Amino acid sequence: MVISNNDSTDDKSQKYKEQYLAMDAEERKAFGVWSQAIRALGWGLSDKEKKEQQELKEYKQDVKNCTRCEKWRNELLKTSPIVRFMSEHLHKSGFPLSPENMPCIKCEEMRSGGFAEDGTIQLCYNRLFGKGHLETTMAHEMVHAYDQANFDIDWYNLEHHACTEIRAASLSGDCTWFQETMRGNVGFLKHHQVCVKRRAVLSLLANPSCKSKKHAEAAVNKVFQSCFTDTRPFDEIY
């Protein structure tokens, strides 16, 4: 059936209704599948309906990603050697860790996790590439938690902040050859140290006390040797 462009909206709706009523059961079923597919693509929707459809899609994806993050986190707290090791030492340091103070949240920034001064470890469910990435992120933030529990850290003192970032990047597995290859950074000569410095500088750039990249680099270089060789609570770099 051809509908003229001159037809009013009411006329078109009436003709579509008549055509639909004329279909048999199989035709109606096929039409239903086709119309759902068309609506999924956004065809025939108003701008408001398209916006609502996109918001619903994003919400469902958020729920899926958050649920997956929480599942992985709970599994890693029970099965990951490095996470369990850090959990044990945090407990000894008077910093008991649980899923309640390690929430999965949505992050606007390009980061996979974060450590808040109140002791909360944030896991960014929308920035995770996989379970292994979450494991490294948890270990990284747990090193920060360990440092906060055992040392008098002033997070607005760039040298203090640089030290814990150096330790976290080095001890968590954040700078393994595999992790660096995934980032597109390949090197051989002292590449672990190069990675640790680079990632520590990137973290310091977000500190309100940091004036520039040179300021961050100076703080990292000043404390690098002493903080890089401090592997507590590990006997050596993981």
The yes-or-no answer on residue 141 being catalytic is yes
Asked whether 134 and 70 are in contact (CB, 8 A), the reply is no
Q: Which of 75, 88, 141, 217 is catalytic?
A: 141
Q: Over the range 47-83, which residues count as b (16 or more CB within 10 Å of their CB) and which as e?
A: eeeeeeeeeeeeeeeeeebbebbbebbeebbeebebb
List Cα–Cα distances, 83 to 50, 89, 160, 218, in angstroms: 43, 10, 24, 31
Please report how many Cα atoms fall inside a 13 Å half-sphere around the Cα of residue 53, on the Cβ side.
Answer: 14
Please enumerate in sequence order all residues whose Cβ is within 8 A of that of 102, keeping only pairs 6 or more positions apart, or say none: 73, 120, 121, 123, 138
Please enumerate in sequence order all residues whose Cβ is within 8 A of that of 100, keeping only pairs 6 or more positions apart, or say none: none
Q: What gap in Å lies between CA 107 and CA 105, rounded to an integer?
A: 6
Dihedral angle over CA of 215, 168, 72, 113, nearest 10: -20
Whose tokens are 């078109």? That residue is 12
Please enumerate in sequence order all residues whose Cβ is within 8 A of that of 161, keeping only pairs 6 or more positions apart, or say none: 153, 155, 203, 204, 207, 209, 219
Tell me which residues are annotated as active site. Answer: 141
